[in-house]
Amino acid sequence: MAHELDAEAETHPPASAESQLLARLEALLASAPLGVAFLDAKLRVERVNDALAARLQRSPAECIGRTLGDLVPALAGSLVPVVEHVARTRDVVPEFEFAGEPPGLPGVTRHFLSAVFPVLVAGNELAGVGMILRDITARHEAVSRERRRARHQASLHSLTAALAQAISPRDVVTAVVEHAAAAFGAAGSVIARRAIDGRYLEILGADGMPPDVGTEWARFPLSTPAPLAYVVRTGESLFLESDADWVQHFPELQALAAGVGHQANAVVPLVVDGLPMGALGIAFAAARTFDEEERALAVNVARQCTLALERARLIESERAARAEADAANQVKTQFLATMSHELRTPLNAIGGYAELLEMGIHGPVTPAQREALVRIQRSQQHLLNLVNNVLNLVKLDTQHARYQLTDVPVEQALQFVVEATAPQLQAKRLRYEQASCAGIVVRADTEKLRQILLNLLSNAIKFTDGGRISVGCAVEGGEVRIDVRDTGCGIPAEQLENIFDPFVQVDRRLNRPVEGTGLGLAISRELAQGMGGTLTATSTVGEGSVFTLRLPGA
């Protein structure tokens, strides 16, 4: 037995430390997840690990003795010059990134990071070149996705800013066709909408598209077998990634697909209230794959386009309605002005003849006749006031009112108004109180200030029975405040602001006949604002009302 062991020992001597180290290095190379290769001085493969051999679609033995040009012809143009440089200069290239089609994967681009370094032996002699290779395609794609996402976001923000400035459908279309192509790095884009009859599509705008898109295809039936029409008919997005996809979906347009110069298309619907009303098409010169992010971006751009088009349509509709209303209002205003001028002449004649009759110019006047003449004059004056108010309102409405601002003493303006309304105050037996306004001066048009105060005082008299009317003045900062206060029945809070609308009267007691046109307060507020002031009111039902006029101080 001992002899057998001795014989076996002679046949298999104990492994040396060097051989153990080599074995471990071999195990290290075999286990390494990175590709490792050693090229001899003639740059032929002398050693390659399993990871790199698998990447080359070969066994390690098949790689030995071959050049990189033999093993990876598609990558040799990028890799061989670097290897030759290292062999010639003995420089170390710690990081070298390149891309290409690896063996066995035609049409697929992979990205690699390589370290290339000289292998030197005793005497600094070049034994060969070492190379470590790592596939970084996943990392490269992640970086590309982030860059693409950032570009998409920037383009989307740019589109949003452009659409915010667009106030007409044409502005919206121009912004979208320009920014949509830029957002995707596309060759062109087009927007179409369903025609009013619902049976045709109309091209609203295009950029970077063939000329016939705006001519032969400017308007075409919705039933046409074409991407834009298909999307509007179905309401579904369509992503054609190559000419083959185009021909598969629309074989009738095979000849057209070959001539447009675009191999990929993204077409998404423009949906309004659940109904596809148009479509946005984005065209690409080369075939491509649309990932989920790009598809979502296309839908997002289409949604923004739809919202902007609807907003622009509403703005245009509002403008058209406003123009129509302005035209109608102009006709109404002109009619009122003409009729008012036409009425003033006979009304003045009626007043003049009634006054002559009352004076007895045409013979004696009996008491009964005199009373009738007084009623005629009162009615004539009422109608004349109505006509004058309408004329004033027309002037304010058409901005024809002219203001001659001067320094006006408030006391003087009030004195004129009190004298004019004295008969009304006496007729209703109202007590009039006025705080001293001496020395208070406003910057106003004298006639228009008198008209405001006359309207306010007349209004207070009209709606106050057996009470008191008071006027106060004060200087507040750079303004003058004039309050006209009555002890009438007051105005309900919900109706208070309406009293400044034209032709509005708020009857402060039910079943009460109140004369007037409902124009006095409307005109007064307009006049106050025209002089840089305000006219407001406060009121308490059962206690009375206060009308406050504020005007700039002199």
CATH, residue 23: 3.30.450.20
Task: Let me know whether 418 and 548 are in one domain.
Answer: yes
* pLDDT tens figures, 359-394: 777 788 888 888 888 778 777 776 776 676 666 666
Task: Let me know whether 57 and 160 are in one domain.
Answer: no
* pLDDT tens figures, 136-154: 988 988 888 888 788 777 8
Within a domain: 7: no
State how far the alpha carbon of 133 is from the alpha carbons of 29, 51, 280, 521, in Å: 13, 9, 45, 90
Within a domain: 505: yes
**447: number of Cβ within 10 Å:** 13
20 φ, ψ (degrees, to nearest 5): -65, -40
Long-range CB contacts for residues 297-300, cutoff 8 Å, separation at least 24? 297/152, 297/156, 297/183, 297/184, 298/184, 298/237, 298/239, 298/266, 298/268, 299/237, 299/268, 300/156
Q: Calculate helix-pair angle for 520-530, 367-397, nearest 10 degrees.
A: 40
Confidence bin at 8 (pLDDT 50/70/90): very low
Question: Given a cut of 50, is residue 5 above it in pLDDT?
Answer: no
What is the DSSP code string of 463-502? Answer: T-SSSEEEEEEEEETTEEEEEEEE-S----GGGTGGGGST
Task: Let me know whether 160 and 236 are in one domain.
Answer: yes
Task: Let me know whether 118 and 175 are in one domain.
Answer: no
Mean pLDDT of the chain: 82
Supply 52's token pair: 């790199």
End residue of a domain, out of 283, 315, 347: 315
Domain with 542 in it: what CATH number? 3.30.565.10
Range of 240-254, 325-339, 537-551 with top mean pLDDT: 537-551
Residue whose C-alpha is closest to residue 45's, from 26, 27, 55, 60: 60
Task: Let me know whether 159 and 307 are in one domain.
Answer: yes
Task: Let me know whether 173 and 251 are in one domain.
Answer: yes
Q: Which residue has the tokens 């029409």?
A: 229
* pLDDT tens figures, 273-314: 888 999 999 988 888 888 888 898 889 888 888 888 888 888
Which is higher by pLDDT, 159 or 35? 35
Domains contained in the chain, number: 3
For 52-187, strand residue ranges (E) read 93-100, 110-121, 125-135
Task: Let me know whether 62 and 119 are in one domain.
Answer: yes
Task: Let me know whether 91 and 178 are in one domain.
Answer: no
End residue of a domain, out of 135, 160, 188: 135
| Stretch (H or E) spanning 158 | helix 137-165
Task: Let me know whether 125 and 208 are in one domain.
Answer: no
Q: Please report, as a single letter, which amino acid is at residue 35.
A: G
Question: Given a cut of 50, is residue 510 above it in pLDDT?
Answer: no
Task: Let me know whether 159 and 75 are in one domain.
Answer: no
What pLDDT shows up at residue 308? 86
Within a domain: 5: no
Task: Let me know whether 173 and 276 are in one domain.
Answer: yes
Within a domain: 236: yes
Task: Let me know whether 162 and 124 are in one domain.
Answer: no
By residue range, what is the domain housing residue 77?
Answer: 12-135
What pLDDT shows up at residue 533? 92
